[in-house]
Amino acid sequence: GGGGRVPCCAPGRLPAPQPPCFLPLAEVFLPEETHGAAPVDFLQQLPSYQSALRRRATAGGGTQERRAAPQGPAGVNKQADVKHLSGGKQWRRTSSKSLKKVLSEVKEFSSYLKLWRHDIHSIEGKFGTGIQSYFSFLRFLVLLNFIIFILMFSFVTLPSIIAKYGMFNSSFAKIPPKNIEPHCTVYEPSGNKGLIYFYDYLKHLLSGTGFLEETSLFYGYYTIDATWISIVRYNVPLAYLLATFAYLALSLIWIISRSLEGFKQNLVHAEDQFQSYCNKVFAGWDFCITDPNAARLKHRSLRYELQTDLEEERLKRKIADRTTKEKLRIYSLRIFINVIVLAVLLGCFYSIYRATFFSQENSNGVSNMNFLVNLLVQYLPSIVITTANIVAPQIFSFLIRYEDYSPAFEIRMILCVFLRLASIGVLLFSLWSQISSCNTDMCKACGYNYELYPCWESQVGQEMYKLMIFDFIVILAVTLFVDFPRKLLVTHCSCKLLQWFGLKEFRISDNVLEIIYGQTICWIGTFFSPLLPAIATVKYFIIFYIKKVSLIHTQKPAARPFRASSSNFFFLLVLLIGLVLAFVPLGVSIAHIPSSKACGPFRNFNTSWAVVPHTILEFPKPLQQVLYGIASEAFAVPFFMVICLVMFYFIALARAHKRVAEQLKEQLAMEGRDKQFLIRKITEAQRHP
Amino acid sequence: MGGSASLLPREALGEYQELTFLTKQEILLAYKRFSELLPKEERENACSARVPKSQILTLPELRANPFQHRICRVFSTSGNGDDSMSFEDFLDMLSVFSDSATLDIKSHYAFRIFDFDEDGTLDRSDLEKLVDCLTGQGEESRLSNAEMEQLIQNILEESDIDKDGTINLSEFQHVISRSPDFVRYDVLQLHGLSRGGLSGGFAGVGAELWVVVGQGYPVRGNRVLRELCKILSRTG
């Protein structure tokens, strides 16, 4: 066989394992022992093989001087170049190695500073990279919310507090709005009026009313039109609006930059179906694994990957083999099921709409209700949303089974994402229809329903606050009252039914959706409640530990491991959708609905957006003209056309690259056929010398 | 811990550096790890002692590796088939796994490791055993027969160029040269004993040995072999 080694000159030295060029040594000296393997070794002289190696070596970098060494006879001519590693080359190699070491040490030091580095590392070791990506995502959100909080606090809350308390020689002015009907400006938050019972205090804390409404948590506190912080005039309304735009832009940029990496990987993965099986089998095992548990997980994930790939291939073949009759049957079934799914969705949305209506009508004012009932009514929209998000996915799972999609097409996930994010939209829509519902003339004069919503931004902020608190309570309650008892029952009670039920699986996608939902609420709510990001930061911080403890003690990792790279990209994509969704209500609130005249920094403006044109009017004339020019059609239309052209160029470039890649793949296949032909010829030539 | 360095003679150190892809620090660390595998009385002659396979497999880097037995078999030069490794075998293995070794060498050794029946080609049974190693030992973790059949069919379709039903070394190397994951995953990290235990000769936290399966060719620049090659090319 081809296994014998050629010993070195002296015994006891490192024996020389056979380099590829020496495999035929036995055959060279014993020509009668030709068998199938021999002629194929000439493959190494084939130019395609050489060029593939060359391409590999240049991609790999600094080992070029050594790639020539173990070549076949054709490579021996290059041996002369590789005599000894000359002094210069050796120095270059050692210096590049030490540079690499320095860089890796710097990287390692900076990773010490990361939050929860050790926790996430241990989770990765025990549960694999899929679950670890969830916790990394959570850490990212904690940081994002913290930065947003710092932004809003330093530009909006801090100046307001300084001005209100008169620190640093500051003062503020409350300019009463002109040309506004006086009835629009009446706003009396039911603050500390007399003795407060403890449960009233709790009620106010949980629903953002009462004493909480007057604090800097909500929009109503910032009823300041201008401040002077020791001679410098600080424009609070403008700062408020610009800080809002800033945190939205910051979130957008940060998410996009994080997702670029995953996007590239996703694209490459999807394209390179060319050699996926060989790649997975020959290069599948990660040799860095030293922990037996991690090894077990890797085995499982490899098996799952191979099985899913094989299953997908079988399904593709099955789909391709479908007859027209079967296709008709499947499509009509799909249409029918999609109608049902649509009906379920509409039902959920309608119930959320009605619940919000009911809650708003009945929670305003009547304080002689029972404490618990009052709280229930206040939280009714949140309860309905959460219930819909628990029940509807189960229905979807049941229905989707009949639709016979390939496992790669995760339609259930898409529906769940849509349901989660659209619930918030429906709630806000319901709120707005109530705020803008105007029947009387007096109401029309204000532009919004001044009787029920004298300070409507604060009340929207309260709704967001309640959603966030309830979300947190639900996560806590589910962990304490469902997961832990379940674990206790399963371990101590040997009832067959319970054992079949088993421990809860940690489903990454559901958990991620949960936190994205919370983050979307935070983004929408921060405009109406500037300190909401701080609450979100604390909430996600605590959730990290809750989820970690719950995972370790009460749950088992899912039987179907995740592909971490694509899942990371998926999380960020859904987060991006949430952010874009948050733009819509904010845009409508800022630009369309008249700002409330009784509270807030935008009392003197028609809408919140109006502060920007107002500020521009104070700029010097040339600058004003430039800005007006940018906003005019004469600029916008050509700009839009240029952007379209650039986009078309890139799309064409991408298509061209794709075509080149296809052509190269075809060429590679042809080379294989060339090789076959040559091998046949060589074998024939050898047989008849 | 200068003591361990002094046990390894200077010219031997220089020779090993010449013959392998390892740096001086890596060789010293390897020597240290190797002598720890030996019982105390044999540590003096670590260079000529042989460590039984069971001891080698206690290394954490190999413990969880499904190819541990094949690795020991491939790198062991023991004549009596017990797969024990001498220090030079050990260095051999580490050099093959170092990050300075070329793709040629790595794929060459990967081929030998995957060749379970050692007949010079990867036939169906080799591929089956390979896939079983990957999915884990144990009845419930193996692929079903139909799946295995389908998988091997796909693998052969992708890599068997001459359509003889087996993958030989050249075809294997051709496939590996286009594999994006091979370089990334085929790295075995040999950790230093503890961060604190490394002496001044090492670079501190960076002194980890990178061991790459099938990516190393320990004899580089070996003059005798090169001369042999030249002779062959002239005659052949």
Q: What's the pLDDT at A50?
A: 61
Lowest mean pLDDT among A247-256, A375-384, A399-408, A639-648: A399-408
Q: What's the pLDDT at A63?
A: 38
Residue B233, both tokens: 């090319």
Is A668 a residue whose pLDDT tops 50? yes
For A563-632, where are the alpha helices, taking DSSP H only? Answer: 564-591, 611-616, 621-631
Residues A648-657: tens digit of each pLDDT:
999 999 999 9
Query: Which residue of chain B comes nearest to A6, CA vs CA?
Result: B225
Q: Which residues of A touch B177 (CB under 8 A)?
A: 52-53, 55-56
Does residue A89 sit at the B interface (CB-CB below 8 Å)?
no
Cβ <8 Å between B174 and A49? yes
Residue A229 DSSP code? E
How many C-beta neighbours within 10 Å does residue A126 have?
Answer: 16
A76–chain B nearest CA distance, Å: 6
Give dist(CA B78, CA A526) in Å, integer.
Answer: 71
Does residue A306 sit at the B interface (CB-CB below 8 Å)?
yes
Which among A63, A105, A277 has the least Cβ separation from residue B154?
A277
If pLDDT is split at 50, 70 and 90, which confidence band does A32 have?
Answer: very low
Residues B96-115: tens digit of each pLDDT:
887 778 888 888 888 999 99
pTM: 0.70
How many C-beta neighbours within 10 Å does residue A171 have?
Answer: 12
Residues A78-118: tens digit of each pLDDT:
333 444 556 778 888 888 888 888 887 887 777 666 788 88
Stretch 4-33 of chain A: residues touching chain B, C-beta under 8 Å: 5-6, 8-9, 12-17, 19-23, 25, 28
Give dist(CA A215, CA A191) in Å, integer.
Answer: 10
Q: Please give the torsion angle defined by the CA atoms of residues A579, A581, A584 and A589, in that order, rounded to the nearest 10 degrees.
A: -70
Enumerate the β-bridge partners of residue A232. A229
Percent of chain B with pLDDT over 70: 72
Query: Which residue of chain B comes nearest to A46, CA vs CA?
Result: B170
Cβ <8 Å between A101 and B212? no
Give dist(CA A446, CA B200) in Å, integer.
Answer: 78
Residues B185-197: tens digit of each pLDDT:
565 545 542 222 2
Give dist(CA B109, CA B107) in Å, integer.
Answer: 5
Residue A330, both tokens: 């499947």
Does residue A81 sit at the B interface (CB-CB below 8 Å)?
no
Residues A255-264: what's their mean pLDDT? 82
Q: Show contacts of B13-19: CB within 8 Å, 24+ apart.
A: B15/A13, B16/A14, B16/B91, B18/B221, B19/A13, B19/A14, B19/B218, B19/B219, B19/B220, B19/B221, B19/B222
> A interface mutation test: which of B65, B229, B231 has the most A CBs within 10 A?
B229
If pLDDT is split at 50, 70 and 90, which confidence band does A209 have?
Answer: confident
Burial class (CB in 10 A: 0-12, 13-18, 19+), B39: exposed
If pLDDT is split at 50, 70 and 90, which confidence band does A308 have?
Answer: confident
Angle at B135 between CA B130 and CA B139, to 5 degrees: 105
Q: Which residues of A touch B104 (CB under 8 A)?
A: 19-20, 53, 67, 70-71
Is A641 a residue whose pLDDT tops 90? yes
Q: Please give the torsion angle defined by the CA atoms of residues A291, A297, A301 and A304, in that order, rounded to the nearest 10 degrees.
A: 140
Is B201 a residue whose pLDDT tops 60? no
ipTM of the complex: 0.74
User: Is beta strand A504-506 parallel, antiparallel or unpaired with respect to A555-557?
Assistant: parallel
Whose structure tokens read 């495999």?
A23
Residues A608-633: tens digit of each pLDDT:
898 998 888 888 888 888 888 888 88
Which among B134, B164, B179 has the least Cβ separation from residue A278?
B179
Please choose, from the candidates A512, A506, A505, the residue with its C-alpha nearest in 3D space to the C-alpha of residue A567: A512
* Contact criterion met (CB below 8 Å) for B94 and B26: yes
Is B13 a residue whose pLDDT tops 80? yes
Cβ <8 Å between B230 and A15? no
If pLDDT is split at 50, 70 and 90, which confidence band does A428 have?
Answer: very high
If pLDDT is split at 50, 70 and 90, which confidence band does A59 have?
Answer: low
* Contact criterion met (CB below 8 Å) for A225 and A216: no
Q: Which residues of A touch B105 (CB under 8 A)?
A: 19, 70
Is A282 a residue whose pLDDT tops 90? no
Q: What's the pLDDT at A193?
A: 59
Element (H, E) at A173: strand A170-173
Lowest mean pLDDT among A127-141, A223-237, A346-360, B194-208: B194-208
B193: amino acid identity, one letter: L
Q: Which residues of A touch B154 (CB under 8 A)?
A: 277, 310, 313
Q: Show contacts of A371-375: CB within 8 Å, 24+ apart.
A: A371/A199, A371/A200, A371/A202, A371/A203, A374/A203, A375/A203, A375/A206, A375/A207
Residues B4-23: what's their mean pLDDT? 75
If pLDDT is split at 50, 70 and 90, which confidence band does A318 have?
Answer: confident
Cβ <8 Å between A56 and B103? yes
A256–chain B nearest CA distance, Å: 25
Does residue A672 sit at the B interface (CB-CB below 8 Å)?
yes
Q: Which residues of B touch A56 (CB under 8 A)?
A: 103, 177
Enumerate the β-bridge partners of residue A234. A227
pLDDT: which is higher, A644 or B135: A644
Q: Which residues of A touch B159 (CB under 8 A)?
A: 278
Give dist(CA A357, CA A485) in Å, integer.
Answer: 36
Which among A22, A37, A277 has the least Cβ separation from residue B120?
A37
Q: What's the pLDDT at A585?
A: 92
Cβ <8 Å between B135 and A303? yes
* A220, A442, A451, B209 from A187: Cα distances, Å: 9, 16, 10, 71
Does residue A271 sit at the B interface (CB-CB below 8 Å)?
no
Give dist(CA B157, CA A47) in Å, integer.
Answer: 22
Q: What's the pLDDT at B235?
A: 45
Instruction: Tell me the count of A-B CB pairs closer than 8 A.
Output: 260
Which of A300-314, A343-357, A565-579, B14-28 has the largest mean confidence? A343-357
Give dist(CA A293, CA A128) in Å, integer.
Answer: 9
> B interface mutation test: which of A106, A281, A679 has the most B CBs within 10 A?
A281
pLDDT: which is higher, A403 or A457: A457
Burial class (CB in 10 A: 0-12, 13-18, 19+), A683: middle
* Contact criterion met (CB below 8 Å) for A62 and A55: no
If pLDDT is split at 50, 70 and 90, which confidence band does A3 have?
Answer: very low
DSSP chain B: -HHHHHHS-HHHHHHHHHHSS--HHHHHHHHHHHHHHS-GGGGGGTTT-EE-HHHHTTSHHHHT-TTHHHHHHHH---TTSS--EEHHHHHHHHHHTSTTS-HHHHHHHHHHHH-TT-SSSB-HHHHHHHHHHHH-SSGGGSPPHHHHHHHHHHHHHHH-SS-SSSB-HHHHHHHHHT-SSHHHH--EEE--S-GGG--TTS-GGG--EEE-TT---S--S-HHHHHHHHHHHHH-
Q: Show contacts of B3-10: CB within 8 Å, 24+ apart.
A: B4/B28, B4/B31, B4/B32, B4/B35, B5/B199, B5/B201, B7/B31, B7/B35, B7/B44, B7/B46, B8/B47
Q: List CB contacts of A62: < 8 A, sequence separation 6 or more.
A: A93, A96
Q: List CB contacts of A629: < 8 A, sequence separation 6 or more.
A: A635
pLDDT, averaged across chain B: 72
Please choose, from the candidates A207, A216, A206, A210, the residue with its C-alpha nearest in 3D space to the C-alpha of residue A193: A210
Stretch 494-533 of chain A: residues touching chain B, C-beta under 8 Å: none
Query: Which residue of chain B comes nearest to A40, CA vs CA?
Result: B170
Residues A302-322: what's their mean pLDDT? 82
Which among B65, B131, B188 has the least Cβ separation from residue A281?
B131
Give dist(CA A285, CA A2) in Å, integer.
Answer: 25
Does residue A68 sit at the B interface (CB-CB below 8 Å)?
no
Q: What's the pLDDT at B203?
A: 25
Cβ <8 Å between B175 and A275? yes
B67–chain A nearest CA distance, Å: 9
Cβ <8 Å between B127 and A97? no
Which of A143-147, A431-435, B14-18 has the largest mean confidence? A143-147
Give dist(CA B54, CA B84) in Å, integer.
Answer: 8
If pLDDT is split at 50, 70 and 90, which confidence band does A275 have?
Answer: low
Give dist(CA A625, CA A300) in Å, integer.
Answer: 65
> A interface mutation test: which of B162, B176, B182, B224 has the most A CBs within 10 A?
B162
Cβ <8 Å between B141 and A288? no
A230: left (phi over 0), alpha (psi -120 to 50) or beta: left
Please choose, from the candidates A53, A60, A109, the residue with its C-alpha nearest in 3D space to the C-alpha of residue B184: A60
Please choose, from the candidates A157, A116, A135, A164, the residue with its C-alpha nearest in 3D space to the C-alpha of residue A533: A157
Does residue A83 sit at the B interface (CB-CB below 8 Å)?
yes
Residues A534-592: tens digit of each pLDDT:
999 999 999 999 999 988 888 776 656 555 445 678 888 899 999 999 999 999 999 98
Q: Is the dihedral of CA B108, B18, B78, A35 positive or negative?
A: positive
